[in-house]
Amino acid sequence: MLATTKPTNFIRQIIDQDLSAGKHDVIVTRFPPEPNGYLHIGHAKSIWLNFGIADDYNGKCTLRFDDTNPVKEQAEFVTAIEQDVRWLGYQWERTAHASDYFDQLHGFAVELIEKGLAYVDSLTAEKIREYRGTLTEPGKDSPYRSRSSDENREMFAKMRAGEFADGEHVLRAKIDMASPNINLRDPVIYRIRHHHHQRTDNAWCIYPMYDFTHGLSDAIEGVTHSLCTLEFEDHRALYDWLLDNTSAPCHPQQIEFSRLNLNYTVMSKRMLTQLVENGNVQGWDDPRMPTICGLRRRGFTPASVRNFIATVGITKRDNVIEMGVLENSIREDLELIAPRVMAVLRPLKVVIENYPEGEYEQIEAPNYPRDASMGTRTITLGREIYIEQDDFMEHPPDKFFRLGPGREVRLRYGFVIRCTEVIKNQSGEVMELRCQYDPDTRRGRPPEGRKVKGIIHWVSANHCVEAEVRLYDRLFSEANPQADKGRDFKQALNPGSLNILSHSKLEASLASPEPDARYQFERLGYFYADKNSGAGNLIYNRIVTLRDTWARIAG
RNA sequence: UGGGGUGUAGCCAAGCGGCCUAAGGCACCAGAUUUUGAUUCUGGCAUUUCGGAGGUUCGAAUCCUCCCACCCCAGCCA
């Protein structure tokens, strides 16, 4: 069932309460990625949450890039991220950047200095770490903590003017070096980085830190609910402190929810980057990647991704979702919209000996048997066809109701054939089948006096097109590739995650697929033309297999 | 051993003191229908059970206490 009812979760409950208490008139959220990499399906959870709330509450969600670290960020990621969000089906009024607020942010920093709530620290990074204390021991004050407001203002001005080298000084909030919450032990809020910024160019050589930037940017934008993941729970105290101690225009509420985890894959940007750089996959949009661009290239629909997120829900519990849930959501969507066609992945030639040579029959096959409005297309059947290697067994086990020596099977939309001869090569491999067909079983007519349970797909040998078909399987062969901390997660990679078949035979209509169309190759799965596919070089990606009860029985 | 979180079936997840002898989805198991071993449909799937132990209450998964397990935090990353 596609989720059509409005989602409910603890965050929406908080919003409902805030609304009925008159705390806000309009709900404002934001999706705040850092433009330092590609989005993955975990981000889709946040996008769905933030944009979905804005949509349902008639509010506003802005896409804001948290571009406060010029060393890591690039403009090309901004474009890619925008494209991904749009692909998922969301719109926003304007693209914001934290860097848009650098002037205001700088003003807030000066304000803190003037209030005696921030100071320039001249300790080295190592010393700062030492002074911070540990999880169980309090930190101690920096000797620079007591600089006067004037001196701090002057020093900070010099930092901004570029008079110091990277790392010489930082600006710190003056809170409490003994706080049990380490985020409150005088966090660094500005650092010196003589580095070109993808948007502000060389206008700045000091850049604000995430904690300082994030809440204040939320406030500048009038965000009402600032939704983030669990690891920021400890930062909320700082988020609130900053808002309470500056003249920020409002005080958004930070609410944390748990990240999305999927088994048989990894979701960390660091690990995904490794896979790309190490050549384990062919890029960020490799169809095996859990990235948005990977899923897109694989053939997932935006609706299926949204529905998947809606299905797994929003809570504060750590969770690992089974791949099967994602697969179910794409099958559910495609079942209703994908035209059915026939394609033979691993071809086995069949000659129907009693079918006249050079003669063919045209069959009007429905594009979608359950819905006539999706039309039909014509397929050709003749003496020579290809069937799937898997649909023939020389020594079939019980319950195998496909083809075997002397057995009968129906060609989908065609007639019943009986296998009369098996032709093998010298090494004993089956090369070709000889069959006889029963003319009385055309157009669906059942054979006299016997039952034919097996129905197999096929293509006409003289009317099919050849294509490369890429079969994808899970990227890792272990449910949790990171389980063993002592070993490289790449050891858990599934060597069979990509299987390329270069001589598959497809029915003629697949030579020029409709743009952005997903097809069901009957009995096999759902397929999508790869971005590099074209006339004369057809490439289809398998999105997902069909459920396959036989495969389970057969092992 | 400091602080912040979380614990409901194999995986998610509703539940917010009485209508819970605990929704729903995925997975799984039976069966029906089927020219896709698909889809669809039916039934089964936590009967003193909600991490554990106590307690409050006429009544608790829901409130209190203690305990246990797991996750996050010591970047001039986000």
Whether the beta carbon of A392 falls within 7 A of nucleic chain B: the reply is no
Whether the beta carbon of A34 falls within 7 A of nucleic chain B: the reply is yes
Whether the beta carbon of A212 falls within 7 A of nucleic chain B: the reply is no
Q: Are A343 and A457 in contact (CB under 8 A)?
A: yes
Q: What is the pLDDT of residues A231-242, one digit of tens each?
A: 999 999 999 999
Residue A153: CATH number of its domain: 3.40.50.620
Asked whether residue A371 is domain-assigned, the answer is: yes
Q: How far apart are CA A456 and CA A466, in angstroms?
A: 19
pLDDT score of A215? 98
ipTM exceeding 0.95, yes/no: yes
Query: How many CA atoms are closer than 13 Å to the CA of A362, on its beta-carbon side?
Result: 4
Nearest C-alpha neighbor of A60 from the set A68, A50, A74, A69? A50
Q: How far apart are CA A337 and CA A157, in angstroms?
A: 61
- Exposure pattern of A114-142 as b/e (b: 16+ CB <10 Å)? eeebbbbbbbeeeebeebbbeeeeebeeb
Asked whether residue A300 is domain-assigned, the answer is: yes
The counts of H helices and E strands in chain A are: 13, 25
* Total number of domains in chain A: 3
Whether the beta carbon of A412 falls within 7 A of nucleic chain B: the reply is yes
Nearest C-alpha neighbor of A352 from the set A408, A302, A314? A408
Encoded tokens for A291: 């990235």
Q: In the 245-264 stretch of chain A, whose C-beta falls under 7 Å of nucleic acid strand B?
A: 258
Whether the beta carbon of A146 falls within 7 A of nucleic chain B: the reply is no
A335, A357: one domain = no
Percent of chain A with pLDDT over 90: 94
Whether the beta carbon of A9 falls within 7 A of nucleic chain B: the reply is yes
- Report pTM: 0.96
CA to C1' distance (Å), from A304 to B26 = 14
> How far out from the chain centre does Cα A436 lie?
48
A320, A363: one domain = no
3-state helix, strand, coil in chain A (%, to 5): 30, 25, 45
CA distances from A430 to A76, A384, A421 (A): 52, 16, 10
Q: Are A26 and A11 in contact (CB under 8 A)?
A: no
Encoded tokens for A471: 């079969």
Asked whether residue A462 is domain-assigned, the answer is: no
Query: How many CA atoms are closer than 13 Å to the CA of A543, on its beta-carbon side?
Result: 31
Residue A449: CATH number of its domain: 2.40.240.10
CA to C1' distance (Å), from A41 to B70 = 24
In this prediction, residue A5 has a pLDDT band, given cuts at 50, 70 and 90, of low
Whether the beta carbon of A552 falls within 7 A of nucleic chain B: the reply is yes
Asked whether residue A4 is domain-assigned, the answer is: no
The per-residue DSSP string of A259-312 comes to: PP-BTTS---HHHHHHHHHTTSSSSTT-TTSSBHHHHHHHT--HHHHHHHHHHH
In this prediction, residue A449 has a pLDDT band, given cuts at 50, 70 and 90, of confident
A190, A56: one domain = yes
Asked whether residue A5 is domain-assigned, the answer is: no
In this prediction, residue A22 has a pLDDT band, given cuts at 50, 70 and 90, of very high
Q: Is A34 a catalytic residue?
A: yes
Question: Whole domain around residue A426: which residue ranges?
Answer: 343-457
CA to C1' distance (Å), from A432 to B14 = 56
pLDDT score of A1? 35
> Chain-wide mean pLDDT for chain A?
96
pLDDT score of A3? 42
Q: Is A466 a catalytic residue?
A: no
A335, A352: one domain = no
pLDDT value at A68 more than 50: yes
Domain end: A237, A257, A277, which one?
Answer: A257
Nucleotide nearest to A336 (CA to C1'): B39
Considering only CA atoms, which residue is closest to the C1' of nucleotide B27? A324
The protein footprint on chain B, as nucleotides within 7 A of a CB, is: 1-8, 10-16, 24-29, 35-40, 70-78
For residue A155, give every residue at least 6 positions away whose Cβ sits within 8 Å of its Cβ, in sequence order, or none: A120, A147, A169
A276, A352: one domain = no
Nearest C-alpha neighbor of A10 from the set A315, A284, A276, A300? A315
Which of A67-71, A162-166, A441-445, A460-464 comes out lowest in average pLDDT?
A441-445
What value does the mean pLDDT take over residues A514-543? 97
Active-site entry in A269, A377, A412, A442? A269
A325, A408: one domain = no
Nucleotide nearest to A549 (CA to C1'): B37
Asked whether residue A17 is domain-assigned, the answer is: yes
How are strands ordered across the β-sheet holding A465-472? A340-341, A518-521, A525-529, A539-545, A465-472, A498-506, A343-344
Residue A483 burial (CB count, 10 A): 10
Q: Is A442 a catalytic residue?
A: no
Whether the beta carbon of A17 falls within 7 A of nucleic chain B: the reply is no
A84, A186: one domain = yes
CA to C1' distance (Å), from A267 to B67 = 35
Residue A378 burial (CB count, 10 A): 12
